[in-house]
Homo-oligomer: A and B are copies of this chain.
Amino acid sequence: MSTAKGYAALAPKAPLQAFSFERREPNDDDVVIDIQFCGVCHSDIHQVRDEWFPGIYPQVPGHEIVGVVTKVGAKVSKFKEGDRVGVGCFVDSCRHCQRDVDAEQYLPGLTQTYNDRDADGQPTYGGYSDHIVVKEGYVLSVPDNLPLDGAAPLLCAGITLWSPLKHWNAGPGKKVAIIGLGGLGHMGVKLAHALGAEVTVLSQSMAKKDDALRLGADHYYPTNDPKTFEALAGSFDLIINTVSAPIDWNAYLGLVKVDGTMVLVGVPDNPVPVSAFALIAGRKSLAGSMIGSIKETQEMLDFCGEHNIVSDIEVIDIKDINAAYERVIKSDVRYRFVIDMATLKG
């Protein structure tokens, strides 16, 4: 066992505070990572506040982890001391069922990076901490040319958009719309643009137009203007909805082409009414997508290396994490907070 320093919610809805805990000694297949940066995901807030399912406390959040390898187990072959690496939303999976699906994120035996229990029944603690011990198969390589701070959000926000963009074939000749320009949406714009798709941002008002175009969008439309829904009717091969607010999905399905798809990556608190006719009149699909597989995540990181893509971030001191949470809830960040873990260690 090794003692780790971190920040945790000691009880549901408690503010985060400094917390010491034990990490396991590395097994033969483990990699020990000195965490340098960790992104702040909206789901961290939902989970420390116990809004999704009964959580495990104390809870150390964080699943957008980047750092440097300090030690590897005897059987680790892919990584060595000094490697720049990342860890995303899960650190183990069962791989027992539906083996034909190369998408372990959907299998029931997934072990989340935090707020879960590992194969030994021990709580998993996330990336708001100084180091982490993770099985080799769940560690990703971060390309050398990417700054570690901006790369951190690729591990959740990046892969959450990359996976549906690739699965539904975003690329040259395809028209893709991204609903919402936040932590997820801004990654969707960068990735879809780099994949060669024609990218439209659908955002509530005109406020983020300049940003959207700078990030790579070809077009920008405000959704508070009903004319947007007339002008863009039947336009898109793929719409990715990053918004968790309960917007009218039927109106957006009207913007999808025949045989097109709208993919949900945000999760509204309550079910949203769907009109069968909105799907039937055009053989349209409403689908969902959740993060991505380890294989996809590595492909995304390599792609980001080739295209110099990282997240637009605001780096914070870990002591400011509770204030940052309040700003995330108000969408007051362009576009992702990343904790500088030196502020925890210093």
Q: Choose, from A86-94, A138-146, A267-275, the stretch at the interface.
A: A267-275
A277-291 interface with B by 8 A CB criterion: 277-290
Q: Choose, from A98-106, A176-184, A203-211, A217-225, the stretch at the interface.
A: A98-106
A96-133 interface with B by 8 A CB criterion: 98, 101, 103, 106-107
Q: Can you tell how many copies of this chain the complex includes?
A: 2
Residues of chain A at interface, number, CB under 8 A: 38
The 8 A CB mask of A167-198 against B (1 = contact, 0 = none) is: 10000000000000000000000000000000
Smallest CB–CB gap between A281 and chain B, Å?
Answer: 6
User: Which positions in A face B, CB cutoff 8 Å?
Assistant: 98, 101, 103, 106-107, 167, 249-250, 257-259, 261, 264-268, 270-290
Smallest CB–CB gap between A327 and chain B, Å?
Answer: 24
Separation of A224 and B106 alpha carbons in the complex (Å):
28
| Contacts A98-B258, A259-B103 given; does A288 touch B272 at CB 8 Å | no
Smallest CB–CB gap between A330 and chain B, Å?
Answer: 22
Q: Are B258 and A280 in contact (CB under 8 A)?
A: no
| Contacts A271-B250, A271-B273, A273-B271 given; does A285 touch B261 at CB 8 Å | yes
